[in-house]
Structure 1
Amino acid sequence: MSILVTRPHPDNEATAGNLRARGHVVLLAPVLKFEPVAFHDDSEAGYGAVIVTSANAIRAIAPQLRELGLLELPLFAVGEHTASAARDAGFGEVIVAGGDAASLREKIIRSARDKVLKKKSTLLYLAGADLSRDLGGELGAEGFDVVTQTTYRMAPVKHLPREVCEGFAAHGVEAVLHYSRRSARAFLDAARVEGVEISALAIPQCCLSETVAGVLRDAGASQVLVAATPDENALFDTLERALRTRLA
Structure 2
Amino acid sequence: MKILVLRPERAAQRTAEALARLGHEAILAPVLTIEDLPSPIPDGPFDAVLATSANGLRKLKNRREIASLTDLPLIAVGDRTAEAGREAGFATVHVAEGDGRALVAEAAARFPTPARFLHAAGADRAFDIAGALAGHGHETIVVELYRATAATKLPEAATAALRDGTAGAVLHHSGRIAATLAALAEAEGLGEALRALPHAALAPRIAAILGEAGCGRVEVAARPDEAALLEALQAILNR
Which TM-score band (shorter chain)? over 0.9
User: In the alignment, which residue of structure 1 is the partner of 2:142?
Assistant: 148
Cα distance in structure 2, aligned partners of 1:67 and 1:109: 24
Superposition map of 1:72-111 within 5 A: 72-111=71-110
User: In the alignment, which residue of structure 1 is the partner of 2:213?
Assistant: 219
How much does 1:154 deviate? 0.4
**Residue 20 of structure 2 is aligned to residue 20 of structure 1:** yes
How much does 1:145 deviate? 1.1
The answer (yes or no) to whether the contact 1:65–1:71 under 8 Å persists in 2 is no
User: In the alignment, which residue of structure 1 is the partner of 2:173?
Assistant: 179
Cα distance in structure 2, aligned partners of 1:67 and 1:75: 12
User: In the alignment, which residue of structure 1 is the partner of 2:8?
Assistant: 8
User: In the alignment, which residue of structure 2 is the partner of 1:138?
Assistant: 132
User: In the alignment, which residue of structure 2 is the partner of 1:126?
Assistant: 120
How much does 1:216 deviate? 0.3
For each residue in 1:152-197, what CA deviation from the matched residue of structure 2 results, as whole angstroms up to 9, or x when unmatched?
1000012222232121112111110001111111111221222211
Mind listing any 5+ residue stretches in structure 2 that lack a counterpart? none
Q: Which amino acid aligns with 1:11?
A: A
Cα distance in structure 1, aligned partners of 2:166 and 2:55: 31
Mind listing any 5+ residue stretches in structure 1 that lack a counterpart? 113-117
The answer (yes or no) to whether the contact 1:48–1:121 under 8 Å persists in 2 is yes
- Using structure 1 for the length normalisation, give the TM-score: 0.92
How much does 1:36 deviate? 0.9
The answer (yes or no) to whether the contact 1:39–1:61 under 8 Å persists in 2 is no
User: In the alignment, which residue of structure 2 is the partner of 1:232?
Assistant: 226
Instruction: Let me know the Cα RMSD of the aligned residues.
Output: 1.4
Question: Where does structure 1 differ by over 6 angstroms across 4 or more consecutive aligned residues?
Answer: none
Secondary structure at 1:236 match in 2: helix
Q: Which amino acid aligns with 1:40?
A: P
How much does 1:65 deviate? 5.6
- Using structure 2 for the length normalisation, give the TM-score: 0.95
Secondary structure at 1:71 match in 2: coil
Cα distance in structure 2, aligned partners of 1:99 and 1:174: 28
Q: Which amino acid aligns with 1:34?
A: I
* Percent of residue pairs identical: 36
- Seen in structure 2, the aligned counterparts of structure 1 residues 67 and 135 have a Cα distance that, compared at 3 Å, is closer
Q: Which amino acid aligns with 2:101?
A: A
Secondary structure at 1:133 match in 2: coil
Q: Which amino acid aligns with 2:218?
A: V
Q: Which amino acid aligns with 2:39?
A: F
User: In the alignment, which residue of structure 1 is the partner of 2:161?
Assistant: 167
After TM superposition, the structure 1 stretch with the greater mean CA deviation from structure 2, 99-108 or 57-66, is: 57-66
Q: Which amino acid aligns with 2:44?
A: A
